[in-house]
Chain A
């Protein structure tokens, strides 16, 4: 079974803090994704990566950056957290037949 893990289930940060969200997958997948999930808005793609050190902006990259130093790990960085970044963050990797495997999510609250 593919396993995608995320470093925290719940996170509370203050406005202006730098926030790191970590994601690890154990199936040697090349492509990884970061989404945010908001009620009424569905899932929106923030960034994705198709190889180590390669990244591409998704639909809502503003205020975020990413890092992929190793194939299994994809990090999402909030350079200066703001209250409108309070959300559920989902990481995914993609396997055969275009199936995306999701992590459990990190619920981030920015005060």
Chain B
């Protein structure tokens, strides 16, 4: 079955600390993986996708097919990173996204 698992509901860190939001997936094939973010009182928006291999707002995510993971990382967290983060998967030849349950990141000053 296709599934996205985000094991942490809440992750709290202090400003300047490294951050890793975990995402594991289950998919028989080659999926496309995404991270979406929702800041307080804002709409859900794309943060990054594995295909583009880019760093957005200091965040990176590497697709590890062996471990079926797509963890989101940032070396030094900022207060403005506080938000809800969703990992999502799209299968081959489909536009549908399967979302994880989300992780709320709190960055304290």
Binding site for B on A (CB under 8 A): 4, 31, 33, 35, 40-45, 48, 50, 58, 90, 92, 94, 97-105
Binding site for A on B (CB under 8 A): 6, 9, 32, 34, 36, 43-46, 49, 51-52, 86, 90, 95-97, 99-102
Main secondary structure of the interface of A (DSSP, over half): strand
CA distance A42 to B52 in the complex (A): 24
CB distance from B24 to the nearest CB of A (A): 14
A42 touches B9 (CB 8 A): no
Q: What A residues does B6 contact at CB under 8 A?
A: 42
CA distance A42 to B23 in the complex (A): 13
Q: Given contacts A40-B101, A42-B102, are A102 and B44 in contact (CB under 8 A)?
A: yes
Q: What B residues does A58 contact at CB under 8 A?
A: 96
- Between A and B, 13 residue pairs with Cβ closer than 8 Å are A4-B43, A31-B95, A40-B9, A43-B86, A44-B99, A45-B97, A48-B95, A97-B51, A98-B32, A98-B49, A98-B90, A98-B95, A102-B45
CB distance from B104 to the nearest CB of A (A): 9
A102 touches B95 (CB 8 A): no
CA distance A92 to B95 in the complex (A): 11
CA distance A65 to B62 in the complex (A): 38
Q: Closest B-chain residue to A50, C-beta based?
A: B95
A103 touches B49 (CB 8 A): no
CA distance A69 to B75 in the complex (A): 48
Q: What B residues does A101 contact at CB under 8 A?
A: 45
